[in-house]
Amino acid sequence: RLLGLLFCTEHPFGHLIDTLQSEQYEERRYFNPQKLSDVRYEKLPFCMRVLLESTIRKCDGFYIKTDDVSSILDWQKQQNQAEVAFSPARVLLQDFTGIPAMVDLAAMRDALAKQGVDPNLVNPRCPTDLIVDHSLQIDYSKCAIQGPPSPMDESHGATVRSPACQPSPRGSSSSSGSHCAGQRPGHRGGCSKASCSDAPSGRSAAVQIENTPLLCPFHLQPVSEPETMIRNQEMELIRNKERLQFFKWCSKAFKNINVVPPDINTVHQLNLEYLCQVVQEGEGFIYPDSVVGTDSHTTMINGLGILGWGVGGIESEAVMLGQPVSLTLPQVIGCKLVGTINPLATSIDIVLGITKHLRQAGIGGKFVEFFGPGVQQLSASDRTTIANMCPEYNATVSFFPVDDITLQHFKHTICSEEKLVVLEDYLKSIKLFRSYGDQSEEPQYSEVIEMNLSSIVPHVSGPKRPQDRVAVTCMKEDFINCLNEKVGFKGFHISKEKQATRVPFLHEGAEYNLAHGSVVIAAVISCTNNCNPSVMLAAGLLAKKAVEAGLMVKPYIRTSLVPGSGTVTHYLNTSGVLPYLRKLGFEVVGYGCATCVGNTAPLPESVVDAIKQGDLVACGVLSGNRHLEGRLCDCVRANYLASPPLVVAYAIAGTVSINLETEPLGVNSEGKDVYLRDIWPSKEEVNHTEENIVIASMFKELRSRMEKGSTFWNSLESAESALFPWDPKSTYIRCPSFFSKLSKEVCTPQSIEGAYPLLFLGDKVTTDHISPAGSIARVSAAAKYLQSKRLTPREFNSYGARRGNDAVMTRGTFASIKLQNRLIGKTGPKTLHIPSGQTLDVFEAAERYQRDGVPLIILAGKEYGSGSSRDWAAKGPYLLGVRAVIAESFEKIHRNHLVGMGIAPLQFLPGQNADSLELCGKERFTINIPQELIPRQQLIVQVVRLTMDNTLIHFSISFERCSQGAHSNSATSVV
């Protein structure tokens, strides 16, 4: 109490502290911005009110100043000008981006210990959750052809833990459709216990998979878990044991961090279902929940009225250690939703419609806040689905203020009755609760965009970019146009005479044909923009109707079902639709990022051969949010995002070159055409199923699994020490070299003299190009390193899983097969070593430059570093010796990463680029960097043209400021 009184006296806004009182709960203290008696507060957008409360509460006069509060109150005049600091309530890490952050913290402890400082001082100050969810690979897939569903066996039978099918190791092409010995004839799915005894190569007897059957929360009967899921989870635990041991050490060694073990949930779903609180309690106060996460899709939490967005690993480490996020006050676009939703449109259609609408409006880097009568038609799941797609229309957040629908959602999920009352009273007391019936509550926005929901019709997105939407009714025509168009974002340039090519092939003794547009990958995923139960249930109900109508999926199509949560499996199973999905090949293969990040199991050799023989544009269809060219599989050139029911529909059709409105999906056993309209579930049917299945008991089941953990995790051994015991033989966890030259003195910026371009790149170079997250190619520099450690290709795992090893990640930098480097004029992870004229792997060239003491730069075009936030996309170039990137423009998060790593993000002046300056990429560059460097300062570049008798030219560039990552002055000191 005494400390509280001192706090109130010394805090610059202590006079704003108020008390929430009621007979239903104990009193709570909070900072009440309304006590400022400033009329501007009620005109602020709701997301700005959250920002203001945090700034008031965390104002310390050092990181956060009273001027920051004044700037937010004066938001209408200060937007795009004033820079303020924001301290989120918590940090969210997923394991692919979380492991390098934790490795860095472990390395910091080592560095401090060497300086004679207590290593236990290194701990997150901001509460941090690390979710182990991104390591799943699909080693096992479907077995045989479907038979009629057996509810007794599938829905309520005992869980079988024995192997269901032959292993399909990565790099092998024999996995698709492998039959198990003794399998029931005509059955596509789980085998009897005695049907198969093969174990995966390298299987460890020490790995224990929990043998307790999952129980249906309604009937208390065992729920069937597909055998492929059990086996994929087992392989995940075997393959990633070193990483998991490191995470276990982190959970014990560091304070203020919560590690969620594998096989529980994906980061997005866990954030929505378990971690979010809307109102947090701590340090004697209640306050609005807020979060920054190391994933661009952290934004989906804004659908529940929780302010949050994605940052990179470097910014997240700063926040974990107590530094606020610095951002320029953004414009806030009010998106007014009107009209009535088309009954055939799913949440995915609404998402893609809003994505296109907002992308066309040019809202890059701005906040979006939704309002209007249309908002009340959206469920909480719909809102999180829309908010999730922020990165695709380039907004920072898409905010839905808390209203009655949000409260109803929390009543069925995480909140006790008392918490709900506190939550509602508190939010209303500081005017953070939205009532759409009161027009006087309308905030003032920078701009208002109106959208009519009744105009949205079912769409898919592709074939290469999420913003390229195609109406389902126009899909066939659009695909033909893509074949005709020149190679580009939409085109494949297939000649007219070759468009009718059909290639016969044999698969499991039967003959099939592939053509342009044939579907070879179909993945139903529910981790991000398909977390809405309605679309997953729609897919299951459609599968049920399809099986009952006698339709089937061709067995060569690589089908999979990867729920984002065990909750999804529960409601699909309890609603009775999971067996029908399995009969069509959509069997649960595990929980984690798989198809979206290129972890699809290899296609059958016969399929790959047929694609290559006919030079076919084969297709993948998935209900995820990422489908960049070549990401799913290097031989699948066209990839479409679609809602889960449409993924199932296109898998049944076997082609995307179909008009689903006028052409049948297939023919039943009686020879009758079956159309999509015949099996499409009505909205009423879906809603009825959702209301009766997705209820509070499922969320209670999730909480129970969270608290219980798994047998493997609980029994996993890890060190009991303040310093991590680095294993020099480990190929997963290595102490990085970032802190090897740590000193107490901050170095001043140094000029760059005589640098060569390591790469000469074009527009839209993504973080996937810079630091791939998928599988490690056998001929790559990273593969050579792993082979030198006596690992086989099957043991390579993925770049994402090896982000804790700087040796792998440095060699994997610019290792994308789709990298377009103008220095060599062809696609691939190669570059020109300019002094010798040799074409080398990017890593080998950089290594040679570093041996010779030559600094490096990168030349690029527009939007360098776009895509998912990925800290290794900056760490990797730094370790390669890159000192600067000269580009036409940068993606904001990646630009901040470059600054954080000491790589200068330098931008051509307006109207200039490498071509206008007649740069060929073989010049030497000297960049004079002053010791007192300020954002947007113009610098002079001296260029020696080596191919023209050492001609000397000069041009100016701009040092780009950073935002939403670190204060510009501190970022400059790093550079």
**908-922 tens-digit pLDDT:** 999 899 999 989 999
User: Could you tell me the pLDDT band of residue 900, with boundaries at 50, 70 and 90?
Assistant: confident
End-to-end CA distance of the chain: 45
d(C-alpha 483, C-alpha 500), whole Å:
11
Burial classification of residue 942, based on how many CB atoms lie within 10 Å of its CB (0-12 exposed, 13-18 middle, 19 or more buried): middle
Residue 335: predicted pLDDT: 95
pLDDT of res. 529: 54
Question: Has residue 248 got a pLDDT over 80?
Answer: yes
- Measured CA to CA, the distance from residue 491 to residue 645 in angstroms comes to 26
Q: What is the pLDDT of residue 525?
A: 86
Name residues whose C-beta falls within 8 Å of residue 920's C-beta, 6 or more positions apart in sequence. Answer: 760, 947
* Three-class DSSP category at 690: helix
Residue 697: pLDDT band (50, 70, 90) is low
User: What is the per-residue pLDDT for 948?
Assistant: 56
Residue 860 to residue 889: CA distance in whole angstroms: 9
Are 66 and 313 in contact by the 8 Å Cβ rule? The answer is no
User: What is the C-alpha separation between 929 and 533, in angstroms, rounded?
Assistant: 54
Per-residue pLDDT, 251:
93
Say yes or no to pLDDT of 594 above 60.
yes
pLDDT band at 747 (very low <50, low <70, confident <90, very high): confident
Beta bridge partner(s), residue 775: 798
Tell me how far apart the alpha carbons of residues 946 and 834 are, in angstroms, rounded to a whole number: 10
* pLDDT for the residue 192: 29
pLDDT, position 176: 33
Give kind and range of the element (H or E) at residue 248: helix 241-253
The sign of the dihedral angle between the CA atoms of 421, 426, 432, 436 is: positive
Radius of gyration of the chain (CA): 28
Which 3 state secondary structure label does DSSP give 493? coil
Residue 7 reports pLDDT greater than 80: no
- Confidence at residue 163, expressed as pLDDT on a 0 to 100 scale: 31
What is the CATH code for 459-690?
A: 3.30.499.10
Across 290-316, average pLDDT = 89
Region for 20 from its dihedrals, namely left if φ exceeds 0, alpha if ψ lies in -120 to 50, beta otherwise: beta
Q: Is the pLDDT of residue 721 over 50?
A: yes
Q: Which of 571-580, 679-688, 791-800 has the lowest mean pLDDT?
A: 679-688
Secondary structure class of 11 (helix, strand, coil): coil
| pLDDT higher than threshold 70 for residue 194 | no
Position 228 scores a pLDDT of 65
Residue 935: per-residue pLDDT: 75
Q: Is the pLDDT of residue 1 over 60?
A: no
pLDDT at 191: 31
Query: Are domains 459-690 and 752-771+813-965 of this chain identical in fold?
Result: no
What is the tens place of the pLDDT at every residue in 449-500?
A: 999 999 888 888 889 887 788 989 899 999 999 999 999 888 999 999 999 9
pLDDT at residue 962 above 60? Answer: no
Give the confidence band of 160 by pLDDT, cuts at 50, 70, 90. Answer: very low
Would the pLDDT of 602 be above 90? no
When pLDDT is averaged across residues 42-56 and rounded to a whole number, the result is 97
pLDDT (average), residues 195-208: 33
Q: What is the mean pLDDT of the chain?
A: 82
CA atoms within 13 A on the CB side of 789: 17
The predicted model gives 852-868 an average pLDDT of 92
Return the pLDDT at 706.
75
Check if the beta carbon of residue 956 is closer than 8 Å to that of residue 909.
yes
Range in 184-188, 596-600, 689-693 the model is least confident about: 184-188
Return the CATH number of the domain spanning residue range 1-87+329-457: 3.30.499.10
Q: How far apart are CA 91 and CA 123, in angstroms?
A: 13
- Which pLDDT score, from 0 to 100, does residue 648 have? 96
d(CA 111, CA 105): 10
State the Cα–Cα distance between residues 649 and 967, nearest whole angstrom.
50
The segment with the largest mean pLDDT, out of 132-141, 217-226, 823-832, is 823-832
Q: Where are the domains of the chain?
A: 1-87+329-457, 459-690, 752-771+813-965
Of the listed ranges 184-198, 443-457, 514-528, the least confidently predicted one is 184-198
Check pLDDT > 60 for residue 30.
Answer: yes
Contact call for residues 303 and 295 (beta carbons, < 8 A): no
The pLDDT of 822-827, averaged and rounded, is 91
Read off the pLDDT band of 9 (50, 70, 90): low
Position 820 pLDDT exceeds 70:
yes
C-alpha pair distances (Å), 784 with each of 172, 808, 844: 19, 10, 11
Per-residue confidence (pLDDT) for residue 353, from 0 to 100: 80
Q: Are 267 and 92 in contact (CB under 8 A)?
A: yes
* Superfamily of 752-771+813-965 according to CATH: Aconitase, domain 4 (3.20.19.10)
Is a pLDDT exceeding 90 seen at residue 673? yes
| C-beta of residue 436 within 8 angstroms of C-beta of residue 624 | no
pLDDT class of 236 with cuts at 50, 70, 90:
confident
Closest to 335 measured CA to CA, from 274, 265, 397, 250: 397
Asked whether residue 688 carries a pLDDT value surpassing 60, the answer given is: yes
**Residue 180 predicted with pLDDT over 80:** no
Instruction: Tokens for 389, please give them.
Output: 């797609």
At 468, phi and psi to the nearest 5? -90, 85
Q: How do 673-674 and 752-760 pair as beta strands?
A: unpaired
Would you say 662 and 642 are in contact if contact means Cβ atoms under 8 Å apart? no
pLDDT at 234: 77
pLDDT value of residue 748 = 77
pLDDT band for position 599 (cuts 50, 70, 90): low
145, pLDDT greater than 90: no
For 457, 520, 629, 819, the CA distances from 485, given in Å and listed in that order, are 25, 22, 16, 22
